[in-house]
Amino acid sequence: MELEKLNLEHTHQLELQQKEFEATLSSSLLTEAMKIPEIRQQISQGMKKGK
């Protein structure tokens, strides 16, 4: 029973770490993409069309 509880907690921690990693990666990719003028222009155009 205790082992099962520890496994669930560990799984939950891994899921949280995965979500944090994905958020960090997404942010990093977007930051790098925005350094490329063509991509920045396309993103800006897409945001204007979305309004």
- CA 51 to CA 47: how far, in whole Å? 7
pTM, two decimals, is 0.65
CA atoms within 13 A on the CB side of 28: 6
- CA 46 to CA 7: how far, in whole Å? 44
pLDDT tens for the chain, 51 residues long, are 899 999 999 999 999 999 999 999 999 999 999 999 999 999 888 888 876
Q: Rounded to 5 degrees, what are φ and ψ at 24?
A: -65, -45
